[in-house]
Structure 1
C-alpha cells in the first residue's frame, strides 16, 4: 500500500521501541490530555447552554415576552389597547394583569410574595402556568369567589394545601383612629403550580383579575398587558414598534430588558469557563512540544542518516509535523466522542450519582434550577475540536523546525 514518505516515517516513529517507552508514554499522556480537555469543554458548554435555555424558558413562562404598562401604573380601557396591538401579526397573544406585592398568612406562618391578578381564560395565551399546575387548574379562579393559586414552595412554607384558606394582606389600607390598618382578605387555595424555578415557586400567587381590582382598588383599569410574540429574540424590535404605535403615556418592556444583567452575566460566565477549560488543551499541547523535542533528540542519528541519503529539511520537518498532528488528531477525536456521549447523557448520569452518594448536587432552595440540563450545540463542538486540532498542529512547528536544522556531520560524529 502506497504511503507518502513523510507520513510513513512519522507514523513509524510513533511506535514504541524498547529504548523509547518513556517517549511513547509522554505521547499517550498528550493524547489523554487533549481528549480530557476537549471532553470537558464540550460537556461544560453543553451544560451551560442547557442552563441558559432552561432558565430562559422558565423565566419566560412567568414574565412573558413583552409587557405594556403606563407611567401612572394603570392602563385604562385596556380592551382598546389590546385590540390595537393584536392586529400586529408578530403578536400571538395578549392578556391583562395586575401585579402587586402582598403578604400571605395562615396560623402564624407569614410569607411575602408577588400577587398577580389574571383572567384565567386568557392567561394561557401569554404564559405556561396553566401547563405547570400540579393540583387544580386556572379555571378554578372565579371572580368574586376570592380564590388563589400558589406556587408549590410557597404553599409548603405556609403549610397549606388545596382546600385550605389563607389571608392576603396588601400594603395599602385605611388610616383610622388606632393608626394605619392594612386591607386583608381571606382566600381559598384552589390550585398549586410548579414551574421548576424556586424563585417563582416560592414567591408567586395568582388570583382572579376582578378580585385583584377590588383588593388593590384599580376600578376598571388593569396594571398592564402581557404579550406573547412569534419570535422572542425579536422582542426588543417589536417592543419599539408597539411603543411607537401606542404613543406617549405607555411604556413597553421586553424580557431582554427585564433580565438583561442576568443573561449578560451568564454569557460572561460561559466565556470565562471556555477560556479556563481550554487551558487544559493548551497544557496538552505543551506536552506535544516536549514529546517531539525528546523524539528529535532521540532520533538525531536517524535524522542525520536521512539527510545524508537526500532527505530535504522540509521533509524532515514534515515527518515530525505528521507525528504531532496524529497525536492531536487522535486526542481530539477521542475527546469529541467522549464529550458528545457525556453531554448527551448528563441528565441521566447526575441523578444516578446523586443516588449513589446519597446527596443533592443542586439544592432547589439555593440554585435557580435543581437539575442539570444539557443542550449539545454542534457549532460549539466544531469550534472546540477545531481549536484543539489547530493548537496541536501549531505545537509541532518548533520541534519540527529544530529537527530540520540538524547537521548530519555533527550528529554522526560520535556514532
Structure 2
C-alpha cells in the first residue's frame, strides 16, 4: 500500500472510530441519567386521563398488585402548594407517600444528607377539652425536603416546622380574611435529600398520605397516581402493557422511560445530530479517497494504455479502481471500528478522559461509555454509503481516462 493510500485509510479509520466513540458516550450519558432518575422514580406510573384524582384508588391498587410482575405498588398524592419558613416562601410540589413502601421502592435512605433522616409520617393526638367539653384531633406530621427547598428557604436546623398552604376548592379569596380561603398544615423537617437530579432536587416536599390528602381535600380512598415497582427481571415496558390491560382507557400508564421522555429525547436528538455531523466528516474522508485514486489514475496513465492494448475494456479498468476504493474503505472501516472499540473499553474501565470541574461536586468523574453492538452495525451504514459513492466516482473517472 502506498503512502497516499495509507493516508486515505487513516482518514476513514479516524472518522469511523469517532462515530463509534461518540455513539457510545451518548449511550453512557443515557445510562447515567436512567440510573439517577431511578433513585427516586418508579418503574411504572398510573395517572388518570381526565382530572388529577383517581377516585377509587384502592380497587385499582388491588388489581395492580395481583399481577405477577409487580413487586410493590403504592398510592401517591401529589400537587402544588406554597411553603413558608421564617417569612421566606416558595412554591413546592408536595408528595404524599407511604413511608415504608417508599423506602422499599426507592433509594431515598442513601440520598439523605448527613445528620438527617428520611421520614414521612404523622400521628394524631387529641387536644385538651375546651370550655364546652369538646376536643379535636391534632395531626403532628414529619417530612423530608429536597435540597433545593432547604437552600431557597434557608432551612439549616432540622425538626423545625415548615408551613404548607393550598387554596380551598371552589372558594373565592376573602380579602378581609385571606387565610380562611386556604388549607394550612405543617410538617417537622426530619431530613434533607439530594439526588443530584433537578427534577427531584428543586422543589419536592415528601410527607405522609394523610397530610397530603388533608392539604388537597381528598378522601382516604383517593390518590393522584399509583407508582409501581417491577419484580427483578421484569421489563418496565412489559409490565406497563399488562397494567394498561387491567386499568382501561381511563388511565395513562407510563414506564420509566416514558415518564422522563423529554430528558431521553434530548439525549437522542443530540446523539443523532452529532452522528450526522460525523457522517459528513466521513464523507470528507471519502472525497479524500476519491482524490487519492484520481491521482493514482493520472500516475498510471501508461499502465492504463498497456491494459487497453492487451484487450481490457474501459469498464474493466474502472472496475479495478472500484475494487481499490472498496478495499481501502473496508480496511479503514474495520480498523476504525477496532480502534473505537478499544478506546471505549479503555475509557469504560480506566476513565482516561475526565470531566472538567470540581471532582467533589461531580456525579461522575469521567465521560461515561456504553458500547452497544447495534451501534457498530449502524456505523456500517454510512461506511457502506461512502464506499459506494467513492467506488462509483473513482470508477467513472478511471473509465473516462482510459477512453482517452
**TM, length-normalised to structure 2:** 0.77
Q: What's the counterpart of residue 236 of structure 2?
A: 232
Q: What's the counterpart of residue 178 of structure 2?
A: 180
CA distance in 1, matches of 2:218, 2:111: 28
Asked if 2 retains the 8 angstrom alpha-carbon contact of 1:62 and 1:128, the reply is: yes
Deviations 1:26-49 (A, max 9, x none): x44433432332222222222222
Asked if 2 retains the 8 angstrom alpha-carbon contact of 1:149 and 1:192, the reply is: yes
CA distance in 2, matches of 1:165, 1:78: 33
Q: What's the counterpart of residue 67 of structure 2?
A: 88
CA distance in 1, matches of 2:195, 2:246: 29
| Residue 90 of structure 2 corresponds to residue 106 of structure 1 | no
Q: How does 1:326-365 map to 2 (within 5 A)?
A: 326-344=327-345, 348-351=351-354, 354=356
Compute the displacement of 1:103 (Å): 2.7
Greater fraction helix:
1
- CA separation of 1:296 and 1:77: change in aligned 2, threshold 3 A: closer
Deviations 1:96-154 (A, max 9, x none): 1110112333334433221101111112454443454444454x333234222122333
Asked if 1 retains the 8 angstrom alpha-carbon contact of 2:166 and 2:215, the reply is: no
Aligned pair count reads 374
CA distance in 2, matches of 1:75, 1:403: 73
What secondary structure is seen at the aligned counterpart in 2 of 1:122?
Answer: helix
Q: What's the counterpart of residue 251 of structure 1?
A: 251
Q: How does 1:90-239 map to 2 (within 5 A)?
A: 90-124=69-103, 126-135=105-114, 136-138=116-118, 140-144=119-123, 145-161=140-156, 163-172=158-167, 178-181=176-179, 182-223=182-223, 224-229=225-230, 230-234=234-238, 237-239=241-243
When structure 1 is superposed on structure 2, of 109-118 and 332-341 the one drifting more is 332-341
Asked if 2 retains the 8 angstrom alpha-carbon contact of 1:126 and 1:226, the reply is: no
Asked if 2 retains the 8 angstrom alpha-carbon contact of 1:66 and 1:235, the reply is: no
Aligned pair partner of 1:375 in 349, 370, 375: 370
Unaligned runs of 5+ in 1: 1-13, 17-23, 411-415
What secondary structure is seen at the aligned counterpart in 2 of 1:163?
Answer: coil
- CA separation of 1:236 and 1:268: change in aligned 2, threshold 3 A: farther
CA distance in 1, matches of 2:321, 2:151: 66
Q: What's the counterpart of residue 15 of structure 1?
A: 2
CA distance in 1, matches of 2:381, 2:261: 31
- CA separation of 1:281 and 1:56: change in aligned 2, threshold 3 A: same
- CA separation of 1:393 and 1:219: change in aligned 2, threshold 3 A: closer
CA distance in 1, matches of 2:217, 2:400: 88
CA distance in 2, matches of 1:235, 1:283: 46
Q: What's the counterpart of residue 321 of structure 2?
A: 320
Aligned pair partner of 1:66 in 45, 51, 60: 45
What secondary structure is seen at the aligned counterpart in 2 of 1:375?
Answer: coil
- CA separation of 1:306 and 1:272: change in aligned 2, threshold 3 A: same
CA distance in 1, matches of 2:97, 2:216: 13
| Residue 264 of structure 2 corresponds to residue 277 of structure 1 | no
Q: What's the counterpart of residue 413 of structure 1?
A: none
- CA separation of 1:15 and 1:210: change in aligned 2, threshold 3 A: same
Compute the displacement of 1:206 (Å): 0.8
Compute the displacement of 1:337 (Å): 3.2
Unaligned runs of 5+ in 2: 124-139
Asked if 2 retains the 8 angstrom alpha-carbon contact of 1:118 and 1:206, the reply is: yes
CA distance in 1, matches of 2:157, 2:292: 68
Q: What's the counterpart of residue 127 of structure 2?
A: none
Compute the displacement of 1:92 (Å): 3.0
CA distance in 2, matches of 1:272, 1:177: 54
CA distance in 2, matches of 1:309, 1:71: 82
